Structure 1
Amino acid sequence: MKRIIVGLLLAALAVPAFASDTWRVNSQVVSTGDSEGRLRQVAGKPDRETPMETSRGGLQGYRLEYFKDGKSVQVEVVNGRVTAITQLDS
């Protein structure tokens, strides 16, 4: 019985490790880990582009915002790769 409980607990903890943020744009999908070039190819030019700074004031990356279908989608790009996708209802 303990083995089953431990197994279920480990399986439940492992699930978030495989989850990634995705965003469907028309018939294509942008995922974390995609390049900035792929993001711009699929989603087009962002409506707003904001630089993100490190704690020391250097450039860390960019937050690109898209406004589509009544939603605001924020995509963070660091070192040329998509690191986070956040969808907000307007």
Structure 2
Amino acid sequence: MEHDKLLKPTVSYHLFLYREELARRNARQLRLSRTKIEITDELISRTVRNIKSCSMDDLKAVNRELMFKRKLRHNVSKLRKQAKTQKSHS
């Protein structure tokens, strides 16, 4: 279990990557979306781990985060399809 923590990047690191990508002149939307998914996933995991002490507001927030994550995944799949289409037309 401890070994897994060492392999998985932290939320702080994902936030760093996100800010770095935003600072780029031509930010890559696919990379930004995937990083947002990772951040959201980690936040959801942290809340679920402490579910016994969660308030109703916390549970509502998790629900919103899950919907946001679903929307991001949908956007990532659209971006991937667009990238494949652009490559095939090149």
Asked if these proteins are the same fold (TM beyond 0.5), I'd say no
Higher strand share: 1
- Larger Rg belongs to: 1
Higher helix share: 2
TM-score when scaled to structure 1? 0.29
TM-score when scaled to structure 2? 0.29
